[in-house]
Chain A
Amino acid sequence: MEKLNILVLEDDKLAQKIMAAQLTGHKLDMAGDLKSALGYLSRERYDIGFFDLMLGPDDDYSGLKAIKAAAEKGLYCVVVSSSDSEDVIDRAYELGARDFYAKGNEESNVADIIRKFVQNRRLDAGTDVFESAFVTEDEETRAAVTEALRYAPTDLPVMILGPSGTGKTSLARIIHDRSGRPGSFVAINCSAYTEDLLEAELFGHKKGAFTGAGEARKGRLLEAHKGTLFLDEIGTMSPNMQMKMLKAIEEKTFHPLGSERAETSDFRIISATLEDPKELIARGRMRFDLFQRVQGYTLKLKPLAERPADLFPLIRHFTKGGRRLSFTAEARAMMQEYKWPGNAREVKKFVDLVCCGPEGRIDGVIAGRHLKPRGFAPAVIEAAPASPAAAAPRPACGDGDELYALAMKDGLQAALDKVAEEIILRNLAGNGGKRTKTMADLKISTRMLYSVLKKNDDGGADD
Chain B
Amino acid sequence: MTDERSSKLLHDLRSKCSSLKSAAELYKDCSPAEKKEMLALMKQAAFEISAALEKLGSGA
- Given A82-B14, A83-B11, A107-B25, A15:B19 Cβ within 8 A: yes
> Which chain B residues lie closer than 8 Å to A107 at the CB level?
22, 25-26
Question: Is A458 an interface position by the 8 A CB rule?
Answer: no
> Which chain B residues lie closer than 8 Å to A102 at the CB level?
18
Question: Is A329 an interface position by the 8 A CB rule?
Answer: no
Closest to B21 in A: A104
B9 near A18 with CB under 8 A, answer: no
A103 near B15 with CB under 8 A, answer: yes
Count how many chain A residues have C-beta atoms less than 8 Å from C-beta atoms of the other chain. 22
Within 8 A of B (CB), among A197-235: none
> Which chain A residues lie closer than 8 Å to B38 at the CB level?
14, 17
Question: Is A12 an interface position by the 8 A CB rule?
Answer: yes
Within 8 A of A (CB), among B6-60: 8-9, 11-12, 14-16, 18-23, 25-26, 37-38, 41-42, 44-45, 52
Question: Is A54 an interface position by the 8 A CB rule?
Answer: yes
> Which chain B residues lie closer than 8 Å to A82 at the CB level?
11, 14-15, 18
> Which chain A residues lie closer than 8 Å to B20 at the CB level?
14
Question: Is A106 an interface position by the 8 A CB rule?
Answer: yes
B8 near A54 with CB under 8 A, answer: yes
A14 near B12 with CB under 8 A, answer: no
Best-buried of A13, A59, A82 by chain B (most CB within 10 Å): A82
- Given A58-B8, A103-B14, A14:B42 Cβ within 8 A: yes
> Which chain A residues lie closer than 8 Å to B12 at the CB level?
54, 56-57
Q: How far is the CA of A14 from the CA of B9 in the complex (A)?
A: 18
* Residues of A participating in the B interface, judged by any CB pair closer than 8 Å: 12-15, 17-18, 21, 52, 54, 56-59, 81-83, 102-107
* Known A14-B19, A54-B8, A57-B9; 18 more pairs at CB < 8 Å: A13-B41, A14-B16, A18-B19, A18-B23, A21-B26, A54-B11, A54-B12, A56-B12, A57-B52, A58-B8, A81-B15, A82-B14, A102-B18, A103-B18, A103-B22, A106-B22, A107-B22, A107-B25
Q: Top 9 A-B pairs ranked by shortest CB distance?
A: A104-B18, A103-B18, A82-B14, A82-B15, A57-B12, A14-B41, A14-B19, A15-B19, A18-B22
